[in-house]
Amino acid sequence: MPITLDHLRRYAVARTLFRPTTLMRAIERLGFVQADPIRAPARAQDLTLRHRVRDYRAGDLERRYPRLALEEDFFVNYGFLPRARQALMHPRTARQAWTAARWKQAHAVRAFIAARGAVHPREVDAHFAHGKITNWFGGSSNASTQLLDGMHYRGLLRVARRDGGTRVYVVREGDSAPVDAAAIDARMDALVELVVRKYAPLPLASLRQLMGLLRHAAPQWNDARAPALARARQRLAQARVAGVDWFWPADESPAGRRWKPDASVRLFTPFDPIVWDRRRFELFWGWGYRFEAYTPAPKRKLGYYALPLLWQDRVIGWGNLAVAGGALRSEIRYVDGHAPRDAAFRNGLAVELARMCAFLGLKG
């Protein structure tokens, strides 16, 4: 049976909206959950997991993280992934080399944390008084915070938990032994497989984009990325559909009968795997979604944190949600200017907003 764009769209929706399961199993199935600090009305990681974890409530990941085999780290973006997957990226060498003086600071801080156990950044700042530094946004940050970020990225520290959203660090052991060429290739293949299983089906241009983002995951093996992409193109299942080359895991078929999205209505974070790939989004749904949180307000067309609105296998609009006075406020808009004239949709949207209230701990 020739694979069509309809097959690919239904497959994309159904394969990642699996039956809700436990928190750890859901993250294992997803492979990686992207994080974002904005709450509108909740953080991205929580908005992603609420569709895939039974009885999930906002903040459950942060509360349960210390007891699970999970790590915070950079992958294609920053987020959460199983510890065994995180280990594929280490020992990591950052693209920007540190000076001897910077390494001396890092070793002193690591010894301090090793002696004290789990340490909040303010304890490091109070002890070492590293001063202030210009951050990525042109503002001022504690130099200790930036040093800790760099140590975490390089695998010297791990996040033990969060206190009020702030990372609390402990020393990370291991991963100091060099990795030989064969092991590098095997790890890169595993990382590519993780990317594909997370975001499949992928247009070739999107696969290349994600391969580029893997430079954050393992910059020390940058030269291995292009050969890994070449191997992936030979290994993965693929088809040319509507003039575009698409790729997906070799053990799945988009034309299979199992890929049947349910009839529910859902609101997604902008970072959900269903809508993350903006190129694929336009191919599937025929309109351009944009994340506008960092767009000046007068130039926004969708809203500060517009949540794409899915019905069955179609993204038909978006919603802007906020909590005010202990109640959920929602503004829903549609691509064609009006809501579907279908009682099933109206009921489905009401159910989704009720689910959102329960997830946020609000009264409906």
pLDDT tens for each residue of 317-328: 999 999 999 999
Does CATH place domain 100-171 in 1.10.3080.10?
A: no
Q: Give the model's confidence band at 135: pLDDT under 50 very low, under 70 low, under 90 confident, else very high.
A: very low
Instruction: Express as a percent the part of the chain with pLDDT over 70.
Output: 96
- Cis peptide, bond prior to residue 308, ω within 30 of zero: no
What order do you get walking across the sheet with 70-74 strand by strand?
33-34, 78-82, 70-74
pTM: 0.94
Where do the structural domains in the chain lie, given as residue ranges?
100-171, 265-360
Please provide the DSSP assignment of 300-344 as one string.
-SS-TT-EEEEETTEEEEEEEEEEETTEEEEEEEETTSS--S-HH
Tens-place pLDDT, residues 14-57: 999 999 999 999 999 999 999 999 999 999 999 999 999 999 99
Q: Give the model's confidence band at 241: pLDDT under 50 very low, under 70 low, under 90 confident, else very high.
A: very high
pLDDT reading at 253 higher than 90: yes
State the average pLDDT over residues 62-91. 97
> pLDDT at position 133, please?
55
Hey, what are 194's tokens?
A: 């993780």
Asked if residues 355 and 264 have their Cβ atoms less than 8 Å apart, the reply is no
First to last CA, the chain: 46
Average pLDDT, the chain: 94
